[in-house]
Amino acid sequence: MSGSILNVENVTMQFGGVVAVDNLNLEINEGEIVALIGPNGAGKTTAFNVVTGVYQPTNGRVSFLGETIVENHPQGKMKKLYKGEHAGEYSHVLAPTPDRITKLGMARTFQNIRLWKSQSVFDNVLIAMHCRTHTNFLAASLRLNHKEEQEQRDRVAELLQTVGLYDVKDEPATSLPYGKQRRLEIARALATDPKLLLLDEPAAGMNPQETNELTAFIGQIRKDFGMTVFLIEHHMDLVMDISDRIYVLDFGKLIAHGTPEEIQNNNRVIDAYLGVAEDA
Amino acid sequence: MIQQRSKKGAVTAVIACAVLLAAVILLENISLLLPAGSVPNVLKPTSQLFAVLKKGAVYSLAAVSMNLLNGFTGLFSLGQAGFMLLGAYTYAILSVPVADRAAVYYLYGGSAVNFSFQDMFGTIFGTEGVGGAVSLGLGVAVAMVLAGCVAAVFAYFIGLPVLRLKSDYLAIATLGFAEIIKAVFQWQALGPVTNGANMIKNFPTFSSFNITGADGTVILRLSTFFPFLVSMICIAAICLLINSTYGRAFKAIREDETAAEAMGINLAKHKMLSFCTSAFFAGVSGAMFAMFVTNAQAKVYTTTMTYEILLIVVIGGIGSISGSVMATFLYVACSEWWLRFLDNVTVINGVQLPFLRAGFRMVVFSVVIMIVVLFFRRGIMGDKELPDLFKKRARKEGTGK
Ligand SMILES: Nc1ncnc2c1ncn2[C@@H]1O[C@H](COP(=O)(O)OP(=O)(O)O)[C@@H](O)[C@H]1O
Ligand SMILES: [Mg+2]
């Protein structure tokens, strides 16, 4: 497909005997905001980790921008333990480290905020630009990259202004309130110059007002940066508000997929998830 | 704006270093300026003061290079003495004048390496006067750079398998490496190169840099200036590295490896860069250590030496360059000079003071260290640098007004 940016094909992730993600298939097109929802422990974060190279899937294939980036089939002791489907379909093994996938243009945030704690807000974003640096080690140490460095600093300033963190740029990252730390993590991911942004529960722990701000913020990112966004989220208001499409995961399996309206009216989803979330 | 501030800081730092170097030259040459009878004991060239300054300069580079790895990249390595040994031997083997080799390697019937950089440059620039000084300087400089390179190459081969593992195997591997390398360099079979368990000597040392007149009297002392100069250049290079984009990536790895990797930082590559750079400067400091003790002998580079340097890093503050430097001079001064009196049996008015006898110094020293480790866990400086302290004060005063 021409507009497809991320393609997850028959991905199964098994930890020993535990099947965390079971035969997942999904597709994200350029410019979309797609949500992945499901109860706790459904395997959403694991799916992210497979896509970003943190975990090597047990079976299946992930393509990004038309190229296969991750592929695996059950090997060694997993051959016997494997409980999923499509076992014989894949023969290549492709397992790049997360930094290589990031360089291809995919950036993420974490469910538990993972900022560089003792670094300033400014430096957190600046460090994320390191992966786009062209200067080699010696030249950078000898300050021969003056121009590039200044360019990066200007871009960080600009980025911080866009996300509304410029006035706290010299504060240590961890001194920020929770909502701003989440925002900083997104800014940091944007600094790696991605085409696809993966957000793992960006509104976790936020109050309703912060959540509303975040919803607007994600919309703004799509508009300003032309970004494709793939997010995991529990706040249904946010999800229904901004998503173009929604995938629903339960016990590692995809149980539904469709537009927000379709999902809201899907009985299986209401049974497995939405009913519970509404009560909570 | 951000750039301007750093430019101002750089100028200040360069001036401070120049002032310090000038002070060192002045200090070691006062004895030449004053009338012979009136030189106080401390300022005589043989004074403990200069031994402390020289050793301090050598050790501060060793400590800073260890801090680069342990403090700034968060990789715990215990190979410092091993890399220093490699540096010391590389320097020594490449620097003993060809004429002296038969005497130094007499047990092995001469050296297998019949070459020295000083001799090589001597054939180009001459061996007397200014030409001699140039060939000495160049010879020493090239040998020292190679000393660093050899250490870095070894680090590369250790790092290749070990740095890919996500845990503290590095500490074990480097500790083992340091022990093995120590044994290998004492091995008889390598005698023609390493002189076996005997020391290699007669290579240019710090006092080779003193400028002497035609009659052999010293005109200008540079024997303390030289280690200061080299250490300063190397530490300045490490500072530049730490504040570069690569240095920032190192800090990101230290603080959160998973996040660093997710933000596109290649862990294996950056860890390797840090490890090899650290080993390079450890090698250079090892070469200087050999110059300081005027010989190279494998059995000196023990694990205790690594621990000593680690201790300095901890006392100074893990992740603080200026802390490491200050802690080095404090540590060296205490252990070599200020606490020496504790080792001497002292009798006052016919009463022998209790406890004061050989070895007591180490007891007191250990207690001091325990106090530091227990109560000042973040060291003298934490992860701050000297200029940070001034900045903070300036800001406080600014808001106070
Ligand atoms: N590294 C791991 N080792 C073993 N089991 C894991 C690992 N990571 C996740 N799991 C399991 O996978 C399942 C899905 O977890 P996760 O993807 O974090 O769920 P969520 O949808 O809440 O993000 C859970 O049962 C969890 O225990
Ligand atoms: Mg999760």
The answer as to whether B253 is a domain residue is: yes
Q: What is the Cα–Cα distance from B288 to B298, expressed in whole angstroms?
A: 15
Report the nearest-CA residue for atom 10 of ligand 1. Answer: A20
Tell me which residue of A55, A56, A57 sits closest to A22, measured CA to CA.
A57
| 8 A C-beta contact, residue A128 and residue A137 | no
- Count of pairs with CB atoms under 8 A, one residue in A, one in B: 103
Banded pLDDT at B1 (limits 50, 70, 90): very low
β pairing state of A67-72 and A59-64: antiparallel
Ligand with an atom nearest the CA of residue A15: 1
Residue B375 lies in a domain: no
Amino acid A250: pLDDT: 92
**Domains annotated on chain A, with CATH:** 1-108+244-280 (3.40.50.300)
Put simply, the answer to whether B263 touches A128 (Cβ < 8 Å) is: yes
Closest CA to B170 of B293, B252, B108, B80: B80
Which of B4-18, B184-198, B262-276, B354-368 has the largest mean confidence?
B262-276
Give the global pTM: 0.92
Contacting residues of B for A196, CB less than 8 Å apart: none
User: B53 in a domain, yes or no?
Assistant: yes
- Smallest CA-to-CA distance from A260 within A241, A235, A273, A274 is with A241
Rg (CA), chain A: 20
Does residue B174 lie in a domain region? yes
Could you tell me the pLDDT band of residue B6, with boundaries at 50, 70 and 90? low
Q: Whole-angstrom Cα distance, residue B332 to residue B337?
A: 8
Handedness of CA A148, A149, A153, A159 (dihedral sign): positive
What is residue B393's predicted lDDT score, i.e. its pLDDT?
A: 63
Instruction: Tell whether B389 is covered by a domain.
Output: no
Mean pLDDT, 10 residues at a time, chain A of 280 residues: 83 93 94 93 95 95 95 90 87 94 96 94 96 92 90 95 93 92 95 95 89 91 91 91 93 93 87 59
- pLDDT one-digit tens code per residue, B255-267: 999 999 999 999 9
Interval B296-354: pLDDT, tens: 999 999 999 999 999 999 989 899 999 999 999 999 998 888 877 777 777 778 777 77
**A147, closest residue in chain B (CA to CA):** B3
Closest ligand relative to A111 C-alpha: 2
Decide which of B134 and B8 is more confident: B134
Residue B334 counted as domain residue: no
Q: How far is the CA of A43 from the centre of ligand 2 (A)?
A: 7
Lowest-pLDDT choice from B19-33, B157-171, B219-233: B157-171
What is the total count of domains within chain B?
1
* CA pair distance A133, B293, nearest whole angstrom: 43
The alpha helices in A34-128, defined as continuous H runs, are 44-51, 78-81, 98-105, 121-128
pLDDT tens track for B228-243: 999 999 999 999 999 9
Share of residues in chain A with pLDDT > 90 (%) = 75
Q: Is residue B31 part of a domain?
A: no
Task: Output the CA–CA distances (angstroms, integers) from residue A71 to A9, A11, A108, A210, A278, in the order listed.
Answer: 9, 9, 20, 38, 38
Rounded distance from Cα B222 to ligand 2 centre (Å): 64
What domain range includes position B248? 47-299
